[in-house]
């Protein structure tokens, strides 16, 4: 949050720092006066009751008016800051990205390009993207601190906000609303690319997966995918798999992480995840299918073809 990379994030950061500095100034003033008074006005030996003062009107008006002016000023700055952090959405503007919160992962889709991904938001640098936020089951909350405000994802009530990043890079975020046992392992990342890279990414990811992988071993993995219950939860565009319960796996091999930011996406981790998801993310809706090591190897080989 102190290192923002978007106009929206900068507005929040500036407002926070300004408020913090003012509050720190007031704290130092009050604490300093208390310390000063308690040292310099201590009762001295032999001193009687001090003179009782029942009001200094000028001082009282002063300490009422000064905070009121300060608060009004802060209100004005906050009002402007909120406008910059969360610009109003134009009427009839279609969302660029739809992010849906599920227990405990994120569906990410690009309705105009027909791309469906998960746990990773791709954005072109310097462009304001309209993100629609949907609660898929319970209330979640999307927060990528360096890119701006956080916003709730409420079932039955889509919210929208503008998101932007100025520099290419990876920006880490998380679910910021307690949503059940694996709330802490519900991470998300924004992968910000140059506009050319982003367009290329959209193009590759709008393509379906090959109907049949080339290598025989991966083909065996594909058959297992359809025979075992993988196909009842996951979709792989271009194949018979089209269930919407778990993440869409059409291009799973090109993602950076598995299980919503919990594991780096490597063949070893993919195998460990398929072998026993409950050990890595207890309570996750991905079941342990009790597959043999050979079956897992074939499935991983198939997953690795889904670039
Ligand atoms: Cu989703 Cu916390």
Q: How far is the CA of 107 from the centre of ligand 1 (A)?
A: 13
What's the pLDDT at 2?
78
Tell me: pLDDT of 222 over 90.
Answer: yes
What's the pLDDT at 5?
94
Confidence band, pLDDT 50/70/90 cuts, at residue 254: very high
Confidence band, pLDDT 50/70/90 cuts, at residue 50: confident
Tell me: pLDDT of 45 over 90.
Answer: no
Q: Which residue's CA is the closest to the ligand 1 atom numbered 1? A: 140
In tens, the pLDDT along 178-190 reads: 999 999 999 999 9
Q: Is the pTM of this model over 0.85?
A: yes
Query: Which alpha helices (H) appear in the chain, and where do they start and end?
Result: 7-40, 57-85, 195-206, 216-227, 267-275, 277-280, 293-305
Determine the atom of ligand 1 nearest the C-alpha atom of 140.
1
Within 6 A (CB) of ligand 1 lie 101, 104, 140, 175, 177-179, 183, 186
Angle between helices 7-40 and 57-85 (to 10 degrees): 160
Tell me: pLDDT of 53 over 90.
Answer: no
In tens, the pLDDT along 71-123 reads: 999 999 999 999 999 999 998 899 999 999 999 999 999 999 999 999 999 99
**What percent of the chain stands above pLDDT 70?**
100
Determine the atom of ligand 1 nearest the C-alpha atom of 102.
1
Q: How far is the CA of 104 from the centre of ligand 1 (A)?
A: 6
Nearest Cα residue to 249 out of 110, 118, 115, 112? 118
């Amino acid at each position: 949050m102190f290192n923002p990379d978007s106009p929206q994030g900068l507005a929040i950061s500036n407002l926070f720092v300004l408020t913090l500095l003012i509050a720190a100034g007031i704290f130092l003033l009050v604490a300093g006066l208390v310390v000063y008074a308690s040292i310099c006005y201590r009762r001295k030996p032999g001193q009687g009751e001090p003179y009782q003062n029942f009001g200094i009107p000028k001082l009282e008006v002063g300490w009422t008016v000064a905070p009121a002016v300060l608060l009004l000023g802060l209100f004005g700055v906050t009002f402007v800051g909120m406008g910059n952090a969360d610009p109003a959405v134009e009427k009839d503007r279609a969302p660029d990205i739809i992010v849906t919160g599920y227990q405990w992962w994120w569906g990410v889709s690009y309705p105009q390009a027909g791309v469906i991904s998960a746990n990773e938001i791709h954005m072109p640098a310097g462009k304001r993207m309209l993100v629609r936020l949907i609660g898929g089951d319970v209330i979640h909350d999307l927060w990528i601190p360096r890119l701006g405000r956080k916003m709730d994802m409420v079932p039955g009530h889509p919210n929208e906000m503008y998101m932007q990043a100025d520099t290419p890079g990876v920006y880490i975020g998380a679910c910021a609303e307690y949503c059940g046992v694996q709330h802490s392992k519900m991470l998300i990342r924004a992968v910000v690319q140059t506009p050319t890279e982003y367009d290329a990414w959209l193009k590759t990811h709008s393509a379906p997966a090959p109907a049949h992988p080339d290598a025989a071993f991966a083909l065996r993995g594909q058959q297992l995918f359809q025979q075992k219950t993988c196909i009842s939860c996951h979709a792989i565009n271009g194949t018979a798999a089209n269930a919407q319960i778990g993440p869409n796996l059409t291009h799973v091999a090109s993602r950076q992480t598995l299980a919503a930011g919990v594991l780096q996406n490597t063949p070893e981790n993919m195998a460990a995840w398929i072998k026993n998801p409950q050990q890595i993310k207890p309570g996750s809706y991905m079941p342990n299918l009790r597959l043999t090591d050979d079956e897992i190897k074939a499935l991983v080989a198939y997953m690795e073809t889904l670039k």
